[in-house]
Amino acid sequence: MSAGAPEADSRLFPARPFVGASIAVIRGDRVLLAARANEPMRGVWTLPGGLVEAGESLAEAALRELSEEVGLPAEVVGVLSPTEIIVRDETGRARHHYVVHPHAALWCGGEPVAGPEALGTRWATLPEVATLQTTPGLADTLREAFARVALHAGEATA
């Protein structure tokens, strides 16, 4: 690529990973999940999220994606461990590669309404999540999110 040439934005067989942000909205003992409307992994349950836009912080991206996908506000209380999603073709070449930075958040009210990027939404407990087809690493991310929200609640009462 020559200097000044526009960089390709293809999500299929990318030259480098795409950076995403997601958000685990906690409501009591439940977390908000959305079923993906787009490939890769259409129909799989995951956290609301998407690509970070230039000039946008990770938390801003997570909150924007939450609003776009399910129409809810939330209060971010912490950043969680990143997750890499790498989907390879039959030859081992990276067909998709995303590095997703999830956030723990508190529900601020309202009910989710699936937008064009979500086939559906649901509030689920951790045992319920274990029975669903989910994106890679989701169970670990959710355990970390619940722990971060509990820590935040402890800090708020101290």
Burial of 137 (0-12, 13-18, 19+ CB in 10 A): middle
The pLDDT tens digits of the residues spanning 123-141 come to 999 999 999 999 889 999 9
Looking at the predicted structure, is the pLDDT value of residue 40 above 80?
Answer: no
pTM attached to this predicted model:
0.87
pLDDT band at 29 (very low <50, low <70, confident <90, very high): very high
Taking the C-alpha atoms of residue 49 and residue 66, their distance in angstroms, rounded to an integer, is 6
pLDDT band at 120 (very low <50, low <70, confident <90, very high): very high
Among candidates 82, 76, 119, which has minimal Cα distance to 99? 82
Looking at the predicted structure, is the pLDDT value of residue 6 above 50?
Answer: no
User: Which pLDDT score, from 0 to 100, does residue 1 have?
Assistant: 34
Beta carbons of 108 and 74 less than 8 angstroms apart: yes
Give mean pLDDT, residues 60-64: 98
User: Which pLDDT score, from 0 to 100, does residue 41 have?
Assistant: 83
Residues pairing with 32 in the sheet = 123
Give mean pLDDT, residues 9-36: 92
Fold of 18-157: Nucleoside Triphosphate Pyrophosphohydrolase (3.90.79)
Burial of 47 (0-12, 13-18, 19+ CB in 10 A): buried
Beta carbons of 35 and 119 less than 8 angstroms apart: yes
Give mean pLDDT, residues 55-69: 96
- Enumerate residues 6+ apart whose C-beta is below 8 A from 155: none
Domain ranges of the chain: 18-157
The pLDDT tens digits of the residues spanning 74-104 come to 999 999 999 998 989 999 999 989 999 999 9
Mean model confidence pLDDT for the chain: 90
Give mean pLDDT, residues 28-36: 96
